[in-house]
Amino acid sequence: MKNKEIKTILESQEVKFNIKGHTEYSKKDDGEWGYFAKIFRTNKHKDDEPSGSISDKYGFSQMNIDKFGPSSFTLYTFDLMGKKTRARVKYQDVTLIL
C-alpha cells in the first residue's frame, strides 16, 4: 500500500494498525503468551474532521495527532508535569489491519 493510501485511511476512518518495531507482551486468542505486534487504533471525534488521536487497543494510553504530512504523521502528548512529548511515525512503518 502506498503512503498516500495509508494517509487517507488513517485520516478518514477509525482503523486498527501496528507500527514496525513496536511490540508488547500479551496473550493471543489461542492462549499463547509472548511478544506480539502492538495494536493501535485511530479515534475520530467528529465525522467531518480528520482523526484526532491514536490509542492502544485497550484505550488506556493515547496520543493526539498534530498533523498528517506527506510521508509521516506527528503525535504529541503531555505528561503529569506538563512536559510535551512528540513522536513521528512514517507511513511506510504502518501496517493497517482491515
pTM: 0.85
Is residue 43 a contact partner of residue 55, using CB atoms and an 8 Å limit? yes
Here the cell at position 61 is 494510553
State how many domains the chain has: 1
Q: For 6-36, what is each residue's pLDDT tens digit?
A: 999 999 999 999 999 999 999 988 999 999 9
pLDDT over 80 (residue 48): no
Identify the domain containing residue 61 by its residue range. Answer: 3-97
- For residue 75, pLDDT over 90 is answered with yes
Any idea which of 16-20, 29-33, 45-49, 84-88 has the lowest mean pLDDT?
45-49
CA distance 15 to 67: 17
All three cell numbers of 75, joined, read: 503525535
Report the percent of the chain where pLDDT is more than 70. Answer: 100
CA distance 60 to 37: 17
